[in-house]
Structure 1
């Protein structure tokens, strides 16, 4: 009998060795075959090497062979895969380092786009949001310029939209986040990418949960789970089970919640994802707390806290501290409950400060760069104006000479036509110069306000301010390339501006707009941002030094078929008092906003048959005391 067992053992060992040798031979054959044909697309390479991409040892072995063969497309592919393995096991620094290697070595656009996207995901997982969104937007910019994108490029565009959507969630821009995920789903449906469909449906569920739409969140999570089950995606099922567990806890359905979470536990352990092991145990602790199974709850919270604090998972810790505080309160341990509630507050503030300050500093840097670029453009345009002026003068002498020589009236009219064309070109360039000076001036005033909130650690105001500021920036960018906008659009923009400035005045300014009902504002054209300098003067020279009630009234009325009148009235300290305050300052900064506005209006009405006018009226009571200032702007419409 023993002899029989011995023979069976020999047969097993021989078979195992034979199987291992076959696998090794198959691995070597695939490497040799790919080095012969050296495919240059992600899909072609993935078709051959995909079976080995979860094994970091084999990936590293392939990298060595590709380095020797100087096969750059293959190297870029393998570095991307190795970086993904590092990220999967939460080793984000190694993931960034490896994905940068892929970016640096990539020769074609497809692998550059993939590398940029993976870096975006890495930095998002590290909570460095500005770098993350920069990498994803760079990837999207390259991809959208490709006329006929292949399946790999389409997949990369899905990743870009997905990553940008996740960053919008972190910035609490939920509508923008949902739009990004839906764009990713639209591309995924066209390309048939079920893995991407699952991820983006689950992300929409995350948005709905953040908006407290629990039933909608469950609906989208179940859609994602059905797709994950159809493609046997263990990692996706783990995420969906965890979210469904958390959502059912919020609905008070604790048995369902525990069932989903218990399904998630073995998957999280099998894929060795410590982040989700911490989250799942936290939710199990929370569910057991709700059904008063306190001993089981403490076991799960202990596991969750140990992992999250060792790995410093800040986002996870905000949830864990809250739930563990509730557990301690219900079990009568009030000192511990208070301790963990304070920890929750501290780490939430830390995350908010880090997120807001990094995002704002990135905006400031971006617009500082734009301001310098605009200055260079101004110099270039002014130089071109000078060149055109020289050309015009030279043409004058040529035409005079030809006129005297030939005494032909035709030559005179040709000269007049050329002169007119040059003058028109000069006028267009001058308007461009003025426009590029106005926009950075206006933007930087708003950015300095954001700095004020960050410096004073007013986190909620900073987030609220960013939401308003993003809408205003979009309006400005849309109109910056236009010579004129409708009065309706102009009033919407200055209304946003006043809302933002009113926050800086602690919402102490009563601001109203009155419009003549007979006017069609969409048909009346004005230069963009023409009213902002007058409102800025009213705020900072009229109302900033005033105590008590503060108000600004902007009214628009029809004077005739040829004119409208815009009045901006404030109840500030008046121009005399403002001038006196300004004269007492050590440094007097000359404001050029009104002067530029007058120049812009002069250029704007060149083709109008009537002129504009601006009047500044001091409002006085019977005792000659100041009641404020009224600016009356009369603009032609024909």
Structure 2
């Protein structure tokens, strides 16, 4: 049995038998240290501190004997070796930590003891040994540290704060970090002050209290500059860049990343350089600048390979796969994810293996290899099963639901959605229970009882609502079964009605979620005409804007509109946008004389996503020298068995498969092609239409231009 199981469960060990007695009270381990040897040590330490107190005030600088250079060097050597092993093979790192812990006297070297304990907990967790990881967490949190020297005391409190943060016990972590900060300030220990301020900043950032988070990290940055410690400078500035990005201060965050990289170069620290370039790549990825992100990830990969940081290499490969997916190269994304998976297998990172399996499945989905998608989902769920309380566990349900929808199995998709919602409800209840535990450790007893009662009431209410919803759902399913048995045709009619509702809901999604800035921008443009006193133009564009809004209201509850109505809407929209952009936006609509637009029906707003993307994202791009002026050409032609509804992309780039996205609330990006194909599939399956989507090129005056085409068959 490994040494920690011996300690935690009271078995005999040569080193700890005389020192530890573990008692279990309310499932919390309490360590009683009561030997004569320890009492003598405490007496000697008390005498030493009394002498120091008589001759001079106790400050951090005057207690440097506690941090003697040989001990610091040896500790750092051991921690670096353990950390290096954790990037290559986690079981090896675990065995090394256990061996080193067995050699340590907790009274002589408590800092190394606690840091190795924390790393051991990390190793247990990543190899899915969750019982042992939880035992170590309880042991660390229960250990009484007030009897240690203030320098040790503050560092141990910081270790406890980090552990509470990793376990999502935010309030407890705040309390521990603040206690460490007070002790560090009292004993003039700037290194621990900076670390405590950084932890508090990360905590409040996690709780979305950004102003308070920035206040703490700014104090940490100022203190690190005052002490002129480049390592602390790097860590605090890297942390500040993340918080600035969270507060949408993009330029300031980018400046911090540049400064952090420059510091890492001055320190000649490859690890810091690797992390800085990787963070910069994440920054560009979040800003949708995928080319620059890829460049930074490549640089970070080279640096990580030079230090053989295998698990970090896997993280970089995962982000490279994400970039490849955004650029539409799903086969390359699969390749990168498989490389990351192999590294994580060798390192025995069980949870991260599950993540890699899900990433592979997500990429293969876009290659339409649905059986392979289900295979990799199953593999991912096997790896994630021990971590079933983690939100990432439900990624498998979401992917299965997407596959079911793609295969037209809507019933299975519904049940998968229901199951994932039950898991989310369970996670919500667990979060509430965690909040109750936090309240118990942070508030006075009277206030705690009041808040605990309120929280337990909320949990009970959620359970009652869940039971009621479950009963209601069972009742509805019973009614559906009775309807299906009583009349097959009635069931078919009921199913078709619901599917028509899905089609209308899909249509309303586009209508309701039109770019929220459009109306504001349109009215602003018309307002500028009023300021210029261009009365005729103002009246004309108000009429155009009014007609367009009438079209939107007119089609909001319709499954089909005439092609004439659809073209009128597009024309009105482009005229309003022409008012905004002037000669930067050019368009032309050519209609075959043989077409009677009023007699041809089409789903409403079929080409709207592509037109919106062309206007909002492509119009103001720099003009490429030697090429024709960018414009949109809409052509409608009648053929023997279908009507062609074609949009030709003349040097704008909106027809690109990889980049055509429309933006919606919360920064969400929706692929124009995916959205359009899903709508056409619904119409073809439910309304038995014959809509075909085509992406190709056409030669005009000896120049080849890309286009998208909708074929409306009779």
* TM-score normalized by the length of structure 1: 0.42
Structure with the larger RCO, 1 or 2 (CA within 8 Å, 6+ apart):
2
TM-score normalised by the chain length of structure 2: 0.38
